Every structure is written in structure tokens, then in C-alpha cells.
Amino acid sequence: MKIVIAGVGEMGSHLAQMLSGNGHDITVVDTEPKALAEVASLADVITVEGDSTTFAVLRKAAVRKCDLFIAVHPVENTNILAAIMAKQLGAKKAIARIDNNEYLEPNNKEMFINMGIDFLFYPEKIAADEVISLLGHTSTTEYVDFSGGKLSLAVFRLEPTSSLVGRELASFTPEEAAAYRTVAISRDGKTIIPHGTDTYMVGDMVYIIARHDSVSDIMALSGQGDVRIKNMMILGGSRIGVQIAQAMQEQVNIKLIEYNADKAYRLAEQLEKTLIINEDGRNTEAMLEEGLSNMDAFVAVTGRSETNILTAMLAKRMGAKKVIAAVENLNYINLADSVGVDTIINKKMVSASNIFRFTMSTDVLAIKCLTGSDAEVLEFIVKPNSPATKAAIKDLGLPADVIVGGIVRGDKVYIASGSTEIAAYDRVVVFAMPSAIATVGEYFN
């Protein structure tokens, strides 16, 4: 697929590396030659220097031949204009990054579609929604619903108290096998698709696809148990922090810590039911005075990954039950995980999940790019007469790095096994390692 990315900041650079790594032909456009040189050193891309809101530059980038145009400049208006222009010049699909909720309202989205923009995405809103979902399932490090909530992916680390520790996968009872399936295990930094003889170990990061009515049972398997969030502290009055507070302040007692005094005053007017505190979150004594040790959840979403990791680590040691940190520097993700941060949120990665489905040739309803692994979870609609409908799963010849987790057929939900047969129009949730992502869709198309 030919893809043009306009804007080579953190988001654009991440997308260029991810998409070029999946075999796509990538052209990147930016006004900064240094930024272009840097991304060219990291990924196999063509660079075009210039303003992506000018027809001459867009023509030079050959947008008329591109299958997908992605505008990810820091400035929203630039992205909208560039996407509209690219679509008019012949781009098959155009996507634009935005930074306000108003454009996502149904009537406004329809207007942008009529103008030629196929999809708008707001990274901070996506990240905030992910945090809110995780706060409803505190024992998980990642959690996402598929098929309208009929199937769920839950990711959690096995504690010594987990009932799974020491068990082989083949030891599941028929009732358990019908309720959930382990699709992957991460151990010592390596993710594998397990087999029946594999055994769960303390510290394993376990990826499970479950029926929605079995999610509460899944949470108990981790050895941690879910915590109902009553008191929460948010560090940072960023867009992510504000959206979390707006969504949860009616149900949860929230303290939001903001270092900048002027911003703290503005937030106090905006968030009437959230207690805004003007303080430095790195001040341990002040944080303890504000009740850090009594918090059910601590969410660090300042603009600095280092601050978020350090304060989240402190919060965990002081007794906060669920700790989440925004980590934009991908090099810090393993560090954050190793020092006890429960869940890491990365805007680039959660946004990539929304964008990546546009690069698939098959009907992909959803994609989840996982933070703790380079694998992805995909939801397909199965086409009539596709290879997946010709035999039981075990006889399909699926790549070794692919496992089918669950199937939704009308109102019925099935956890997959080797003997399961897939039918046309099924919604299928699949776990795939990077080596198989480019080809797995062929089985369902």
C-alpha cells in the first residue's frame, strides 16, 4: 500500500516506522529537513520537504497515487486542510489528527466525511478512554472489548496467589475452555502463542480472550482481584487528565495535581466537581499530605514521561492500588513496567490501533496494538467462501504466529478451539504476531 504521512513529529515518525516495517511504501512530508533526515535514518521512507497544505508539495508527494493519506501535524487546522486537499487530488482515503471533541460529534463527523476526510482521530481522547476502561478493570494492564462488548481481551500479570500458577493450559475444564482462552503469554520479554503443555508461571503476562459474561472470573485468575475506584489522584492537567476527570468526577472523588498556577485556576473553573491542587507532583511530602497513600487509583499524565514514571512508582510504593502512567518515550516502556507501574498508556500506540485498520485489505472492524507486546489483536468479518470457512480451525493451516480467540455469530458467542468451524459473516477475534499480520487477513477474505 502507498501511504503518505504529513507531519513528522513523534506521531508521524512512529507511524512511518510501524507502517514501513509492515511492508508499505511510505512517503513523509514536512517543512523541517532535520525531522525528515531523522525519520529517514529510522525507516525506509521517501521524504518530501515542504508545506503539506500546498498543491505543489502534495503533487510532489504523489498523493494522487496513494492509498492512504495521514495528516498528523501538531496543528489541527493544518491536518484538516491537508486531508481535504489530498482527497481532492486523488488519495483513496484521508485521515486527520484533531485535538477537540466537538469535531467527533455525529453531525460534525458527517460533515467532514462529506468534505472528503474518512476518519478523524483525537489521540488524547483515545488515551483517556483507554484509562477510563482500565479503571473499570483494575487487575488488568490492558483491556479492550470487541464485537460490541460480547468478547473481551484482558491482559494481566500472574501474582504468586494466582490459581493459574503451575497449571498447564491443557488442564482447563470444558466449562473453562468455553468461557475463555489464553492466546499469548509474555515471559522474560518474549511473547509466545502457548500450547497445551505450556505451564503458567509467576510473573507471566497473560493475554486472555473471554466471553463478556466471564470477565469477572478472569479478573480473579490474576491473583489480584478488582478494586472499586472511589478515590483517585490525577497528576497533570493535560488534555488526557482533563478528559478523565470530566468523565469520572460524578462517580469518583478526584484530586487533580497541577504544577502551573494559572492553569490550576482555569481547571478549577472547568472541573467543578474535581479538587484542583496547585502543587509539584514530585514533592513526596506534599503528595502524602494530599492522601496519596489512600488512593484507589493514581494516574500520571503530565507531558514528561520521566515524571510520570517516577511519581507512579512512588504512588505504588505508598499504597495506591492501581497505578497508570502516560509514557510517550517508547524506550521507557520496559523501564516503567519493571519498576512496578501497573499500566502504561502511549498516545502513539493507542492511536496507531485506530489507523492501522485502514491499511488492511480485508474487512477489519478493529485492531488493538498492544503496549506490552509487539503483537496485535484484530477483529474480522468473515467473507463468504473465504478460506476460513472451508475447514475446522486446526485444519486451516493458519500461521504458527496466529491464534483465533473467539467468534461472534449473531447473538451467540464462542470461545474458539481447534475443532471450531468458522462460518460466513462471523465476527472473529484473532491474536497475531508481527510476522503474520500482513497475511492473516487473507484467511477471512
CB 83: neighbour CB atoms within 10 A?
29
Query: What are the Cα distances from residue 268, in Å, to 54, 254, 257, 262, 397?
Result: 41, 12, 11, 10, 58
Model confidence at 176, pLDDT cuts 50, 70, 90, reads confident
Grid coordinates given for 123: 489521540
What pLDDT shows up at residue 89?
Answer: 97
Which ranges of 136-256 would DSSP assign to H, the alpha helix? 174-177, 215-221, 239-248
The 10s digit of each residue's pLDDT in 238-287 is 999 999 999 999 999 999 999 999 999 999 999 999 999 999 998 999 99
Task: Write down the CATH number for the domain with range 130-221.
Answer: 3.30.70.1450
The 10s digit of each residue's pLDDT in 321-373 is 999 999 988 777 777 777 778 888 988 888 888 888 888 766 788 888 887 77
Assign a CATH topology to domain 230-320.
Rossmann fold (3.40.50)
Strands 275-278 and 205-211, bridge-based pairing: unpaired
Q: Is the distance from CB of 261 to CB of 268 less than 8 angstroms?
A: no
Residue 202, φ and ψ in degrees, nearest 5: -55, 135
Strands (E), 100-248: 119-121, 142-146, 151-157, 180-187, 190-192, 205-211, 231-235
Q: Is the distance from CB of 135 to CB of 200 less than 8 angstroms?
A: no
Q: How many Å apart are CA 228 and CA 321, to the nearest integer?
A: 10
Q: How many Å apart are CA 232 and CA 298, to the nearest integer?
A: 6
Orientation of helix 10-21 relative to helix 347-356, angle to 10°: 50
Q: Do domains 2-121 and 230-320 have the same CATH topology?
A: yes
CB 153: neighbour CB atoms within 10 A?
24
Assign a CATH topology to domain 360-444.
Alpha-Beta Plaits (3.30.70)
pTM for the structure as a whole: 0.87
Q: Which amino acid is at 166?
A: G
Q: Which amino acid is at 95?
A: I
- For the chain, what is the largest distance between any 2 Cα atoms, rounded to a whole number of angstroms? 65
Torsion angle (degrees, nearest 10) of CA 316, 289, 275, 295: 30
**Which CATH superfamily hosts domain 2-121?**
NAD(P)-binding Rossmann-like Domain (3.40.50.720)
What pLDDT shows up at residue 332?
Answer: 78
Which residue, among 162, 126, 159, 120, has the nearest Cα to 144 in the 3D structure? Answer: 126
The 10s digit of each residue's pLDDT in 368-411 is 888 777 788 999 999 999 999 999 999 999 998 999 999 999 99
* Domain locations in the chain as residue ranges: 2-121, 130-221, 230-320, 360-444
Map residue 44 onto helix, strand or coil.
Answer: coil
The 10s digit of each residue's pLDDT in 56-95 is 999 999 999 999 999 999 999 999 999 999 999 999 999 9
CB 71: neighbour CB atoms within 10 A?
29
Q: How many Å apart are CA 289 and CA 308, to the nearest integer?
A: 19
Q: How many Å apart are CA 202 and CA 226, to the nearest integer?
A: 19
Average pLDDT, the chain: 91
CB 374: neighbour CB atoms within 10 A?
13
Q: How many Å apart are CA 379 and CA 429, to the nearest integer?
A: 4
Q: Is the distance from CB of 39 to CB of 104 less than 8 angstroms?
A: no
Q: Is the distance from CB of 320 to CB of 343 less than 8 angstroms?
A: no
Map residue 380 onto helix, strand or coil.
Answer: strand
